[in-house]
Structures are given as structure tokens and as C-alpha cells.
């Protein structure tokens, strides 16, 4: 998928009812194509398994973040989302969770730093987190 959509620094966290992606796009026109690929492909697979025909993912939000400190918080929120929503119980289980890019971040910056990213935002609910993002207007577009 990284090559298909020319993505760099692709971080993700997927849980049972939503997902988060953080990446850098070389071209903005790729965004709708990526969303169609992820949303359409996963909905098709899920509906095939369940026998239903329903919309699985019905909304999305896109933020352009230009501040390194803020992107660090967003990355922590995204990779730690399975822990936040109790899909896993601790950092040890997060290491074995295949639906988070936690291990790739650990590989790049170290386990202690990755865990600090997560700990800095793990207690925030999504609305509070979005408020933090939106309250940085010079850093977010």
C-alpha cells in the first residue's frame, strides 16, 4: 500500500469500530484514492464475512499538521489507539497486535520513546484530542 499510494511515514491504529492513519502524501489527489482503497476494501471483506451489505466507515477527518511536537502527539494517539480502547491490555500485548504500526515506530525511535508518545495522550478522549489539534491553528490546516 505504501508503494501504491506513494506514502511515507505511514502510521496506523485499527480497532473494531474505527481506524486512524497518519502519513505524508506526495500529492493530495491520492487521499480519496487511499480512502476508497481502505474503506471500500475493508467494508467489502467485512460484509462478505458477515453476509451484510452495509456502510462500514461513514465519515473521515483530514488534518494537515505542520508542527513536529503536535505530530508526535498524533502519532502516539494513533499507534496507542488499540491500548486506549482496550483491544490490548498493555504495551506487551501492543507489540503483538498486528493492526498498529507500533512496532515500526519502536524500530525507528526505540520502545521507550514510542511508549512516551502514547502515554502523553492515552488518557485523552477523541473530542479532547481533536480540540488540541484544532487549537493550534498556525500548526494545522
Domain residue ranges in the chain: 2-50, 68-134
More confident residue, 85 or 58: 85
Can you give the pLDDT at residue 46? 67
Instruction: Give, to the nearest 10 degrees, the angle between helix 68-79 and helix 126-134.
Output: 160
Can you give the pLDDT at residue 56? 66
pTM of the model: 0.80
Contact (CB, 8 A) for 12 and 20:
yes
For 24-68, the pLDDT digits (tens) are 888 888 888 888 888 887 777 767 777 777 666 777 778 888 888
Amino acid at each position: 500500500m505504501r508503494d501504491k499510494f506513494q506514502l511515507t511515514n505511514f502510521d496506523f491504529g485499527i480497532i473494531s469500530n474505527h481506524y486512524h492513519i497518519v502519513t505524508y502524501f506526495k500529492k493530495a489527489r491520492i487521499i480519496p484514492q487511499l480512502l476508497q482503497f481502505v474503506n471500500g476494501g475493508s467494508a467489502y471483506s467485512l460484509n462478505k464475512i458477515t453476509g451484510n451489505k452495509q456502510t462500514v466507515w461513514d465519515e473521515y477527518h483530514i488534518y494537515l499538521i505542520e508542527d513536529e511536537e503536535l505530530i508526535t502527539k498524533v502519532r502516539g494517539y494513533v499507534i496507542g489507539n488499540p491500548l486506549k480502547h482496550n483491544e490490548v491490555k498493555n504495551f506487551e500485548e501492543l507489540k503483538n497486535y498486528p493492526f498498529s504500526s507500533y512496532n515500526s515506530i519502536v524500530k525507528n525511535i526505540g520502545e521507550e520513546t514510542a511508549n512516551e508518545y502514547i502515554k502523553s495522550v492515552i488518557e485523552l478522549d477523541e473530542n479532547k484530542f481533536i480540540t488540541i489539534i484544532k487549537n493550534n491553528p498556525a500548526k494545522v490546516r
